[in-house]
Amino acid sequence: MLQRPGEGGRWWRLRVKGVPAVGFADRNQRLAGALEAGWKLAEVRLVRTVLRTELHAVFNHDDLPEPVEEPSNPVGIDKGVTTRMVLSDGTTVPARTVDHTTVRRRRRALSRATKRSRSYIKKRRALAKVTRRQAEQARDADFRLAHQFVTSYDGIAVEDLNTVGLLRTKRFSKKLSEQRWAAFDRILEHKAAKAGVPYVKVDPSYTTTDCSSCGNRQRIPLQMRVYQCEHCGLRLCRDVNAARNIRDRGFPTKSRCREGLSPDTARVTSYHCKTTRVGTP
């Protein structure tokens, strides 16, 4: 049972049978605004973390905005290691670098302490606080970045990558985990649905090797960072070219999508047979 505060107050009280009453502050009046909007409170969770005790309120509502027209300013997002994200308009998001100095120092101090001693419990709590603080800072930064994408573009297309499989590889697994691709995708999808912005996941196959202008497919080694098409002469950053292909697959336009075909099936040539259209004998 939730007890609302008085006029001008922000302190609420939660009463549950068998549990002592819990008082909490409604920051930014988010709980009061949701109840006044007519949302139905489905569940209340008390989550005890290392830093504090949190209260999570879950609401059911069906008034999410639906996109009514084709996006006029969509964006495609290509993910990488040296650069975290590259957008189809040329904007880049720098790669995340995590400073593990404090965590290593806390772990060394914990390893020197006697187990189950008072010092051990204190140092274990200090390590947990540092880890939790880093996770919260990374999550807050992802929310801010997702908000920037949602407010700047009216359509978002991303790669449907198998991040779990990529993290099993021996090369770049640590750098890949630091980029938080899967966590950011969940946050971006949530923010896009809340704002009514179309969010599409596309197949990442051949997004790097296909030309974003004419559709020509050619081999390009990993060390080559500039894409130069052998068919139409297009020359630009390979990550920007991949981001444009992702955008066109998620939101096909009339120029790239003839007779309702997707950009991949409307490709003019391929490196297997450069003079033959796809689908012809």
Q: What is the full DSSP assignment across 82-104?
A: SEEEEETTS-EEEPP----HHHH
- Concatenated DSSP letters for 193-216? HHHT--EEEE--TTTTTB-TTT--
- Closest by CA to 153, choosing from 249, 242, 75, is 75
Residue 238 contacts residue 187 (beta carbons within 8 Å): no
State residue 65's pLDDT score. 63
d(CA 185, CA 56): 22
d(CA 31, CA 189): 22
**What's this model's pTM, rounded to 2 decimal places?**
0.77
pLDDT tens, N- to C-terminus, the chain (281 residues): 677 776 656 777 877 777 778 787 777 777 888 888 778 888 888 888 777 778 888 887 766 666 657 788 899 999 988 899 999 988 999 999 899 999 999 999 999 999 989 999 999 999 999 999 999 999 999 999 999 999 999 899 999 988 888 888 877 788 888 899 999 999 999 999 888 899 999 999 999 899 888 888 888 888 888 888 888 888 888 999 999 999 999 988 633 443 343 444 334 333 333 332 333 33
State residue 259's pLDDT score. 36
d(CA 47, CA 25): 15
State residue 255's pLDDT score. 39
